[in-house]
Amino acid sequence: MAVKVGIPVNGSNISGPGEGAEVHIFEIENTKYKLIDRYENPALKATSARGIHMLKSVLGKNVDAIIVAEIGEPGVRFLKNKIKIYYNNNLNEDEAMESYIHGNLEEITLPTHEAPHNYGNSHELK
């Protein structure tokens, strides 16, 4: 059975749900993956809770997991018991997909940063 993974990106760099310019949806069969959808991140037009808009969009695409560079408490709470969240650890999207397929990405259940969001600051896992 195919697995679907959503990733917010700027170019090939993975970002947070509220920051990526685009959202890429990948489908995985066995150990092969392919890009099946890409669209403008709806968070870019949101005025508040930006990341939630992106997360709602990937849920609408029936993804099984999301790979992010960072995620706040509202996003973690929103996705709880819906899909798994993986931390990309500074990989580009191809490296992250390979790591996901081989079980080498860290699943996260806690926010990577606290609110309010401080744009421009780096985010590290706590």
Between 60 and 123, residue with greater pLDDT: 60
Position 85 in a domain: yes
Q: Do the domain assignments include residue 16? A: yes
Contact yes or no for 43/113 (Cβ under 8 A)? no
Indicate the pLDDT class of residue 90, thresholds 50, 70 and 90.
Answer: confident
Look at the chain and report how many structural domains it folds into: 1
Residue 116 domain flag: no
Residue 122 resides in a domain: no
Pick from 18-32, 69-83, 107-121: least confident: 107-121
* Boundaries of domain holding 10: 3-108
Domain assignment present for 87? yes
The whole-angstrom separation of Cα 126 and Cα 88 is 14
- What's the CA gap between 26 and 99, in Å, rounded? 14
DSSP 42: G
Please check whether residue 119 lies inside any domain of the structure: no
Domain of 12: which CATH number?
A: 3.30.420.130
The pLDDT of residue 122 is 44
Task: State the average pLDDT over residues 9-14.
Answer: 94
Q: What is the pLDDT of residue 76?
A: 95
pLDDT for position 1: 79
pLDDT at residue 89 tops 90: no
12: pLDDT strictly greater than 80: yes
Question: What digits encode the pLDDT tens for the residues 34-56?
Answer: 999 999 999 999 888 889 999 99
Are 16 and 51 in contact by the 8 Å Cβ rule? The answer is yes
Please tell me the predicted confidence (pLDDT) of residue 8.
Answer: 97
Task: Locate 19 and state its tokens.
Answer: 């920051």
Residue 68 lies in a domain: yes
pLDDT reported for residue 48: 83
pLDDT of 121 reads: 41
Answer yes or no: is 34 within a domain: yes
Q: What angle do CA 1, 52, 34 make, to 5 degrees?
A: 30
